[in-house]
Amino acid sequence: MPQPQSPGSRLTAAVSGLVSCLWSRVPDVAFLTVLQQLGPLLQFEGLLSCYGSDAARLSDMVVAVEDLATVQFVLVPCSLPKQHDNDAHPRVVVTGNRCGLRVLLPVPESLLCFLSEHHCAAEPLTFNVTPVFFNVGINEEATLAGRLRLEGPQHRNNLDSFHRLAEYHHRYAKLDLPADTTRRSCCGSNRQSLSELMERLSKAVQSSKSKNTETLHLAAAVTRVMGGIRFTSCKSGKDRTGMSVTLEQVNLLTTAFDLARTERHQSLQAMRSDGTRILNCKKNISVKKFAFNAMQLTMFPRDYAPPPGSYGATAT
């Protein structure tokens, strides 16, 4: 569904990601340590161009993501009724104003018990997040922006985000985490290769190459290794986003679940022609097709082009 790049929509996304993480993962010492001493890393991936209306959206997105750093999050007991109720759900409470927001996040009993064993303070656990935003335009307007040399805002934002990510990585590396705390990233890397990934990302964000999607792939890899939460968006949240999400899915299947590389392309095409992302298009515009045309796709990076028959919708 369309996602306007406003502070409110970014906060909604952040809260959704945090609640999902707090309720779906098994609590462990490493997770609690990061939560207490650093706060979670939130990495936003954008596919907006620096031309036309996308340029304004990009500027709004930069400010909206940066504002998340000022939000204070507090873990509180969940007040769901004990009896089974399909309509019951954790209720998030937001107080304050844009200059000082406070978000109360309900957490399950299992996490509260774990907190009581490892969290010595009498007050509820309170933390801030570290938000970073990496953007690389991939469509025909991004091609035009590159030729007209309009990509300065994107370049500056990616550099700023890298500096914030590097500071977070510096503090993360000092944490006393369990020795077995390793996570495979979408590049098949673990915590020991985090510095190498950061070096590669540093070179990518400094490169003047247009449509350098390696920036997005490396930022995703770094985020996964440090247990961060990722978000992907474009203008509508369905077309370019659908291409990025399915590419990430097949990369994860290849590196983390040993999908044969000979099956990679076929799996990627299947996800785009029959998966949930094209169903998202139908729910949005009542047409089971991505809103691309053949001419546009000649200017897309190869890995971001959908298969024949899955595009051609005129509504965006």
Query: How far is the CA of 271 from the CAs of 20, 47, 276, 310, 315, in angstroms?
Result: 23, 19, 8, 11, 21
Which of the 8 DSSP states describes residue 298? T
Residue type for position 284: N
Q: Which of 50, 78, 187, 234 is catalytic?
A: 234
292 to each of 147, 194, 273, 277, 287, how far by Cα in Å? 21, 36, 13, 14, 12
Residue 221: name the closest of 181, 194, 259 by CA: 194
Annotation says 120 is catalytic: no
CA–CA distances in Å: residue 272 to residues 61, 245, 288: 26, 10, 11
Amino acid identity at 142: A
DSSP classification of residue 304: G
Check: CB of residue 48 under 8 Å from CB of residue 57: yes
Query: CB burial class (10 A; 0-12, 13-18, 19+) of residue 123?
Result: exposed
Written as six digits, the tokens of 171 are 């503090």
Give the HSE-up count for residue 259: Cα atoms under 13 Å, Cβ half-sphere. 18
Per DSSP, helices labelled H in the chain are 7-24, 29-37, 53-67, 109-118, 140-147, 152-173, 194-206, 214-225, 240-256, 264-274, 276-285, 294-297
Rounded to whole angstroms, the Cα distance separating 44 from 55 reads 17
Residue 311 and residue 279 in contact, taking contact as beta carbons nearer than 8 Å: no
Residue numbers annotated as active site: 234
